[in-house]
Copies of this chain bind each other. A is one copy, B any other.
């Protein structure tokens, strides 16, 4: 079963394998991200990890950041190390600065995508021409 609902009906909890299945990554990867300080789920009385919707959203953001090419260290700088002992105000300001920088990078990335698309179109045309020559 996917997730558990508590008495209020608004809080939903996931086990590590549950969440892993939802995000299509392995439980070990989730633990690895925790070791890196990117998430810090609560634990049950028996010491097993419990994830909230918030944790899941954070993980989704991590995964998206990765697809776009960011390293885990860069992502940590954007979203802040989970539960770091650091002064919160300072931490947030650092995160905001990194986020602003990422907006610019996203724009660059869009431009790069168009250039790549153009390159591939050229390559395709070249290959098709070569194919005809081979007939």
A residues whose Cβ falls under 8 Å from a Cβ of B: 60-61, 64-65, 67-69, 78-79, 88-89, 92-93, 95-96, 99, 102-103, 106, 109-110, 112-113, 115-117, 119-120, 123-124, 127-128, 130-131, 134
Contacts and interface: CB of A to CB of B under 8 A. Distances in A.
Given A127-B92, A131-B89, A134-B89, A116 B106 contact: yes
A134 to B, nearest CB: 5
A65 B116 contact: yes
A103 B120 contact: yes
Contacts of A95: 123, 127
Give the number of copies in the complex. Answer: 2
B134 A88 contact: yes
A92 to B, nearest CB: 5
A79 B65 CA distance: 27
B96 A64 contact: no
Nearest to A98: B120
B115 A64 contact: yes
A99 B116 contact: no
